[in-house]
Amino acid sequence: MREMMEMYQLFGFFQAEWISILALLIIGTLYFLAPVVGYRSDRRGTLMLALWALIAKLAIGLFQHVYVALLLIDRPGGMGGGRGGGLFGAIEEVLPALVALAETAALLAAMVLFVLGLQRLVRPVQPPPAHD
């Protein structure tokens, strides 16, 4: 049981999602405030994609936690006593690495989309004031 818990910690199964939540709040705030401070509101699509990538990362993290809980219940010696065969069958050994890889890819995609979204923000050109 201890080796299994150490393996899950290695893949980041018990880490809080605070970086993702903080990034979601920052990007959401900038998405909301961009038109307020004078940027064109039709150029925020990439920031919206960054928000969706962060939501996908949080969903993957939720799946990760549910998966670990189900594995802990289903294992021999766990609360469920173990039913043999495993919950996910043949991919059970590879699934933690794939889920961690998908979560990291979603976070990196959100970061890249956020930077691209910041570069796409444009203020409308205002003519200089007329002198009398």
Closest CA to 24 of 61, 59, 52: 52
- pLDDT score recorded for residue 51: 96
Confidence of residue 13 (pLDDT cuts 50, 70, 90): low
Q: What is the CA radius of gyration of the chain?
A: 22
- Can you tell me the distance from the alpha carbon of 45 to that of 123, in angstroms, rounded to the nearest whole number? 15
Chain segment 53-102, per-residue pLDDT in tens: 999 999 998 888 888 777 777 766 554 444 455 666 677 778 878 888 99
Token pair, residue 116, equals: 């691209």
pTM of the model: 0.75
